[in-house]
């Protein structure tokens, strides 16, 4: 456990200036700019303040402040979204994390889903006690986003329709097929539903499997949306896809060119 120790007057003044000007996270370049000093000097200052317990190191060159009421610098991230935005930008918060934000699920997920144009070596990582699930996307897939304030910083999160699209593209982003479908059904029953926009987003993403899954699920849970199902049929690509690539799916629904798990075919 790293305990807090005292700072001299000059350090207190400089740390106060950095904390006043920072926006949730504190980086070496930002500190150098605030204190009008070289990056090397700023890096040494931040490292010293972290050693004394006034900052918590997130990764090399990036820190978060330790709350004054804390007796230790070993703290969980106060807002993981801010840290994700700093480390993985351009990115957005998506999947089940976005679904939680838009009240499309009552489940509580400990891991934060981050969709990034970067190519991180690890798909799963842990930072100061918070787990992150990373998915790489193309630059042109950065659409359907909403900028939301997190303190003094705007962070991108997928809007409700894009959130559902991402789960249709990869059900694991919803925590698995059953969970993702539950979120889809909540979306259908919410004021956030915009199925025409979902079709438009699907075309923009360009994955034909999305329309096979969407058409099948509309038929199953929103049979009155005939016009939307017809739009999905018009966009069916050749070949057969799986409802969830992670599951054994022995039953082929030919009208949707979709392999589904046996129990789904029986429902």
Alpha helices, H only, 89-173 = 95-101, 160-169
Say if residues 163 and 175 touch (Cβ distance below 8 Å): no
> How high is the pLDDT of residue 68?
55
What are the boundaries of each domain within the chain? 9-65, 78-194, 206-267
**pLDDT band for position 233 (cuts 50, 70, 90):** very high
pTM of the entire predicted model = 0.81
Q: Percent of the chain at pLDDT above 70?
A: 93
Is the pLDDT at 207 greater than 50? The verdict is yes
Query: Encoding tokens for residue 239?
Result: 């070949």
Nearest partner of 141 among 121, 124, 120, 156, judged by Cα: 156
Rounded CA-CA distance 124/146 in Å is 24
Burial (CB count within 10 angstroms: exposed 0-12, middle 13-18, buried 19+), residue 91: buried
pLDDT digits (tens, 9 = 90+) for 133-157: 999 999 999 999 999 998 778 999 9
Angle between helices 9-21 and 39-51 (to 10 degrees): 110
CA distance 259 to 249: 5
For residues 224-250, give the mean pLDDT. 95
Tell me what pLDDT residue 77 has: 67
Instruction: Indicate the pLDDT class of residue 73, thresholds 50, 70 and 90.
Output: very low
Q: Within 10 Å of residue 23's Cβ, how many Cβ atoms?
A: 13
Tell me the CATH class for 9-65. Answer: mainly alpha
Query: What's the angle, vertex CA 185, arms to CA 184 and CA 186, rounded to 5?
Result: 90
Q: What is the pLDDT of residues 79-124, one digit of tens each?
A: 889 889 988 999 999 999 999 999 999 999 999 999 999 998 889 9
């Amino acid at each position: 456990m790293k305990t807090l120790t005292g700072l001299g007057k000059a350090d207190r003044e400089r740390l106060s200036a950095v904390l006043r000007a920072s926006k949730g996270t504190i980086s070496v370049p930002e500190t150098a700019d605030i204190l009008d000093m070289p990056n090397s000097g700023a890096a040494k200052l931040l490292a010293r303040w972290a050693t004394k317990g006034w900052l918590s190191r997130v990764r090399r060159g990036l820190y978060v402040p330790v709350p004054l009421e804390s007796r230790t610098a070993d703290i969980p991230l106060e807002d993981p979204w801010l840290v994700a935005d700093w480390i993985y930008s351009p990115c957005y918060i998506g999947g089940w994390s976005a679904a939680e934000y838009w009240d499309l699920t009552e489940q509580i997920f400990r891991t934060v889903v981050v969709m990034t144009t970067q190519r991180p070596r690890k798909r799963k990582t842990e930072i100061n006690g918070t787990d992150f699930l990373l998915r790489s996307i193309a630059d042109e897939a950065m659409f359907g986003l909403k900028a939301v304030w997190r303190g003094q910083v705007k962070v991108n999160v997928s809007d409700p329709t894009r959130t559902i699209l991402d789960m249709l593209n990869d059900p694991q982003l919803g925590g698995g097929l059953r969970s993702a479908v539950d979120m889809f059904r909540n979306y259908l029953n919410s004021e956030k539903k915009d199925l025409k926009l979902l079709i438009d987003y699907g075309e923009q993403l360009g994955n034909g499997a999305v329309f096979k899954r969407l058409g099948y699920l509309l038929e199953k849970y929103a049979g009155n949306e005939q016009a939307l199902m017809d739009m999905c049929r018009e966009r069916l690509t050749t070949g057969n896809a799986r409802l969830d690539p992670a599951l054994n799916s022995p039953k082929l629904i030919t009208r949707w060119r979709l392999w589904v798990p046996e129990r789904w075919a029986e429902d």
